[in-house]
Amino acid sequence: MAPRFDVLIIGTGLAGLTLALHVADRKQVGLVTKKQLLDGASSWAQGGIAAVLADDDTVGSHIRDTLIAGAGLCDENVTRYVVEHGRAGVQWLIGQGVPFTRDTENDTGYHLTTEGGHSHRRVIHAADATGRAVQATLEAKIRAHPNITLLEHHNAVDLITGAKLGLADNRCYGCYLLDIRSGKVHTVAARHTVLATGGAGKVYLYTTNPDTATGDGIAMGWRAGCRVANMEFIQFHPTCLYHAHAKPFLISEAVRGEGGVLKLPDGTRFMPLHDPRADLAPRDIVARAIDFEMKKRGLDCVQLDITHRPADFIKEHFPNIYIHCMELGIDITRQPIPVVPAAHYTCGGLMTDLSGRTDIPSLYAIGETACTGLHGANRLASNSLLECLVFGMAAAKDILAQPAPPPSSLRQWDESRVTDADEEIVIAHNWDELRRFMWDYVGIVRTNKRLERALHRIRLLQEEIHEYYANFRVTNDLLELRNLVTSAELIVRSALTRHESRGLHFSRDYPDTLPEARNTVLVR
């Protein structure tokens, strides 16, 4: 008998945990994560959550800032819905016990910071480790809840749909799950299945994302028949720590929000030459400006300087960044931080409605996996955790309002015709090749020739991976590579479809922005 849940949530970032806690009092919940509960991208979020909390801020102002950053592609109705529900989401987190940084002189009682693209201080945070504070608080609630079964060290192989079962009703019936430690694949039935697996940042060589960000939910939803939108819009965070002997480490946007300025190695500021908002311009503009200056001058990195602020202020507001940099011999109270852009956020994804529903009945997508219409062509800073909160709550409300679909008998995973892989080095080589050519050909600045070269290589990799998948037992590395190459294909196909430059997609072949903004929608 297949394990059965009312709600199966694949992914344990803020979106997944929010939904789980909102349905668990009435539903049996299965919560799936590839590693441990707190190993997703949400835990890595430094800046905070953007919401209208202060008396001098307005819903209209937050909407306007979001629409401007999104370069004409934001869905205004969705944007209004998210912004209007932001305060309630933050208040729910406060009620859960999240230790946001206090400020008794602020009318909210909390310290609010500003980030690029925001016209007001509206980003509530827990020092410079907001994601970790939020996730750690919710983890205790998740582990203590009697109706939540936590499946750590499990990875989803594929969704089980009516089409796969030969049924006329093509709803989602659950999924196949790989127990990574045992190597066994289990059939898991669910009345509602939720994809909350995050983005696809690991498709690039340099990324601020954790190793788990391999586009799993996007790829599975696409293979199941969901539409995908706006995958060409990959946000490159402008300021990732540059160090030869350290893994990529995000330097929060809040550093610039609190006065940090970008400089060339000789100490010259350059952002005022690229945008009147200078260092507080939206991320796409700042990332392109840094990329331009690095290529023009042959630089390995640029400098982010906040040394003009008091040392105690820096240590108080950015304790984790300070400690991390000090461990590498960089005292940010006295020295500028060497930074480069790195792949950071997937603005596109599986198309959903205001309840997180996809094209397939009983299948939801929330968080970075989804394309809700909020981010458009470029996500406004700190709107990501906001989206996770609001859509986690919205999907929970919809699931609780739905009548329970009837159960169905599911066929077990069949591996009778496969064997153990003989040379797993093939996976490592293909993974490395994919990430390198995606960085070289599908990065911050694109051309048709580069995109076509990338697509040609993707096709070759897909043939090899398909043959490998068909003949050998699945492993976690194989599943991630399979999903990454699918995500790469969707990014490149979307980029080739867009004959303009807009937001995060900048093409030398099409440098102008078309008068009408349209979504890029791919249909399988």
For 428-446, the pLDDT digits (tens) are 889 999 999 998 899 999 9
Q: Could you give the angle at which helices 476-497 and 216-224 cross, rounded to 10 degrees?
A: 70
pLDDT band for position 456 (cuts 50, 70, 90): very high
Query: What is the distance between the alpha carbons of residues 228 and 268, in angstroms, rounded to a whole number?
Result: 42
Q: For the chain, what are the domain ranges?
A: 4-232+347-401, 238-343, 425-511
Q: Is 225 left (phi over 0), alpha (psi -120 to 50) or beta?
A: left
Residue % of the chain over a pLDDT of 90: 78
Q: What is the pLDDT of residue 1?
A: 53
Query: What is the distance between the alpha carbons of residues 49 and 216, in angstroms, rounded to a whole number?
Result: 25
Query: What is the distance between the alpha carbons of residues 399 and 476, in angstroms, rounded to a whole number?
Result: 30
Lowest average pLDDT, out of 68-72, 414-418, 479-483, goes to: 414-418
Query: What is the distance between the alpha carbons of residues 326 and 299, in angstroms, rounded to a whole number?
Result: 23
* Both tokens assigned to 472: 């050998």
The domain 238-343: what is its CATH number? 3.90.700.10
Would you give the end-to-end CA distance of the chain in angstroms?
Answer: 32
Average pLDDT over residues 86-104: 95
Average pLDDT over residues 297-317: 94
Q: pTM for this structure?
A: 0.91
pLDDT band for position 327 (cuts 50, 70, 90): very high
Of the two residues 269 and 247, the one the predictor is more confident about is 269
The domain 4-232+347-401: what is its CATH number? 3.50.50.60
Check pLDDT > 90 for residue 46.
Answer: no
Check pLDDT > 90 for residue 115.
Answer: no
Q: What is the mean pLDDT of the chain?
A: 93
Q: What is the pLDDT of residue 338?
A: 96
Residue 416 is classified by DSSP as T
Task: Using the structure block, give the residue that is written with the tokens 């060409």.
Answer: 232
Q: What is the pLDDT of residue 2?
A: 66
Kindly give, in sequence order, each residue whose CB lies less than 8 Å from that of residue 154, ignoring residues fewer than 6 positions away: 32, 33, 34, 177, 178, 179, 180
**Percent composition of the chain: helix, strand, coil (DSSP 3-state, to 5):** 40, 20, 45
Q: What is the pLDDT of residue 476?
A: 94
Average pLDDT over residues 454-468: 94
Provide the 3-class DSSP secondary structure of residue 511. coil
Residue 82 is classified by DSSP as H
Average pLDDT over residues 88-104: 95
Q: What are the helix (H) ranges across 352-475?
A: 383-401, 425-441, 448-471
DSSP string, 79-112: HHHHHHTHHHHHHHHHHHT--PPB-TTSTTSB-E
Average pLDDT over residues 407-414: 79
Instruction: Specify the pairing of strand 185-195 against strand 4-10.
Output: parallel
Q: What is the pLDDT of residue 422?
A: 67
Question: Which sign does the torsion angle of CA 454, 459, 460, 466 carry?
Answer: positive
Of the two residues 276 and 426, the one the predictor is more confident about is 276
Residues that are catalytic: 283
Fold type of domain 425-511: Methane Monooxygenase Hydroxylase; Chain G, domain 1 (1.20.58)
Ramachandran angles phi, psi of 74, nearest 5° = -65, 140
The 10s digit of each residue's pLDDT in 370-381 is: 999 999 999 998
CB hemisphere CA count around 13 (13 angstroms): 33
Lowest average pLDDT, out of 74-88, 286-300, 449-463, goes to: 286-300
The 10s digit of each residue's pLDDT in 329-351 is: 999 999 999 999 999 999 999 99
What is the length of the chain?
524
Contact yes or no for 512/500 (Cβ under 8 A): yes
Sheet holding 112-113, edge to edge: 49-50, 123-124, 112-113
Average pLDDT over residues 142-163: 96
Query: What is the distance between the alpha carbons of residues 325 and 204, in angstroms, rounded to a whole number?
Result: 24
Q: What is the pLDDT of residue 398?
A: 98
What value does the CA radius of gyration of the chain take, rounded to a whole number of Å? 22
